[in-house]
Structure 1
Amino acid sequence: MSTSHASFAEFYPYYLGQHDDRRCRRAHFVGTSIAIAALVSFFGTLDAWWIAVALVGGYGGAWVGHFFYEKNRPATFDHPWYAFRADWLMYWQMLTGKLSW
């Protein structure tokens, strides 16, 4: 079910609520890490195959987390830009210890 959010600041708490299960957050973290590694590989080789790996790794990790652990619909289906930004913020917060993973 789609919900309306007036701003990213309003969206982000909703987004975190969709990631209550630590296994889901971990799946996101792994997927985003794969996407980062693939993008680094792309810029090192200019082989477009790495772009596909980045997309599959990033979204695959997120979707595994939602479909298998949270049992909810990924926010990217309804709010793609906010969800993309929120995933990177959540990743940074887990990396820096501000959010448990």
Structure 2
Amino acid sequence: MSEQRFQSYEEFWPYYVAMHSKSATRWIHLAGTLTGLAVTTYGALRRRPRLLLGLPLIGYGTAWPAHFLIEGNNPATFGHPTWSLRGDAEMIRMMLAGRDDELSEIAAKWLIEHPEDAPRR
């Protein structure tokens, strides 16, 4: 299924998780997002406008290379930026709650049902 054909976030979610099928990719996302959030928060509190770019620059700057180098796919952000941001937040919440194995199961199920979305490697 092409990512352009999703009609709702609920349809998109398992695809999003599948594009993060490797635990290393998810943990890099978590580290980049939380680091970027910390830098942005610090910038807001200290009134340092340049640091407000921390979240997008550090977050995407760590996440996108993980897709190319670890996952072997393109970031889902390219097709659905808003849903991808929501998916990233949901994925990180699950990881922080100790549910990383559940994400692996969601990804594996999607990739079995949609082999065309499997990594190119």
Larger helix proportion, structure 1 or 2?
A: 2
Residue aligned with 1:97, SS: coil
Please give the alpha-carbon distance, in whole angstroms, between the structure 2 residues aligned to 1:3 and 1:54. Answer: 26
Residues 1:27 and 2:28 aligned together: yes
- Counterpart secondary structure, 2:7: coil
CA-to-partner distance for each residue in 1:30-85, whole Å, 9 max, x for gaps? 11111210121022112111122221111012112101100100000010000011
TM-score (norm 2): 0.77
Unaligned runs of 5+ in 2: 104-121
> Runs of 4+ in structure 1 displaced over 3 angstroms?
none
Following superposition, the deviation at residue 2 of structure 1 comes to 4.1
Q: Are 2:67 and 2:73, in contact at CA under 8 Å, matched by a contact in 1? A: yes
The count of residues paired between Structure 1 and Structure 2 equals 101
Letter in 2 for 1:7: S
Distance 1:75 1:8 in 2: 12
State whether residues 36 and 56 of structure 2, in contact with CA within 8 Å, keep that contact through their aligned partners in structure 1.
yes
SS of the equivalent of 2:11 reads: helix
User: AA paired with 2:41?
Assistant: V
2:55 corresponds to: 54
Determine if contact 2:32/2:62 at 8 Å carries over to the other structure: yes
Q: Give ranges in structure 1 of 5+ residues lacking alignment.
A: none
CA distance in 1: counterparts of 2:66 and 2:23, whole angstroms: 9
Q: Residues 1-101 of structure 1: matches in 2 within 5 Å? A: 2-100=3-101
| Contact preservation (8 Å) 2:41, 2:52 | no
- Provide TM-score, normalisation by structure 1: 0.91
